[in-house]
Copies of this chain bind each other. A is one copy, B any other.
């Protein structure tokens, strides 16, 4: 049994956040061949000695390459073929992570940059495809689930949350319907305290993700209030 009979196994992570109202992905500068010095999805080999499972491998890579600790992380899809990597038959267990708005500021160095997903034109390997699947998945889940709460900072108003949904869906939502849904989903709870620093207007109730929900996901049976 030589190593050629064992494919290469890697983990690639699509790290998403919302900056200036548009979805951004983290790209890392590759330090090795192939595609050395190119920007690509953060990823790396599975380390059988260190990693318990694929999620642990992703967590290690998030920590060491991007400096992120325990964001929302979920398996996306696995890309496995002979042709996706010139080095040979390879497997990429792709995952996606959602990062709160306020974490991004802390994550920035020469090896990492955030790029609006609509402006990414090409990436090494099949990373464009992986990115596309991740973005589609997140946008699709936004239609009927509470997934986007994982893009929010520790506390936020319902209007903030609605703006995030609207950015992801690229369409405006009805306030009344949106709030009905969020209440049904039962994933956020009010925090004692009000916001104010916005300016000359009524302050809004602050909310936070229910602690039990911070790693879970709530889904509704029907749409949010997408306007006609």
Contacts and interface: CB of A to CB of B under 8 A. Distances in A.
A39 interface: no
Which of A6, A46, A52, A221 has the most B CB atoms < 10 Å from its CB? A6
A64 interface: no
Contact of A81 (B8, B52, B77, B221): B52
Interface in A70-91: 75, 77-78, 80-83, 88-89, 91
A34 to B, nearest CB: 16
A184 B51 CA distance: 47
Q: How large is the interface on A (under 10, 10 to 19, 20 to 34, 35 or more residues)?
A: 20 to 34
A108 interface: no
A223 interface: yes
A77 B81 CA distance: 16
The 10 A-B residue pairs with the shortest CB-CB distance in the complex, in nearest-first order: A6-B6, A53-B81, A48-B89, A54-B80, A78-B78, A3-B3, A7-B9, A78-B93, A3-B6, A52-B82
Interface of A: 1-9, 45-46, 48, 51-54, 75, 77-78, 80-83, 88-89, 91, 93, 221-223
23 contacts: A1-B3, A2-B3, A3-B5, A4-B48, A5-B48, A6-B7, A7-B46, A7-B48, A46-B80, A48-B82, A48-B88, A51-B82, A51-B89, A52-B81, A52-B83, A54-B78, A54-B80, A54-B81, A54-B91, A75-B78, A80-B93, A91-B91, A222-B222
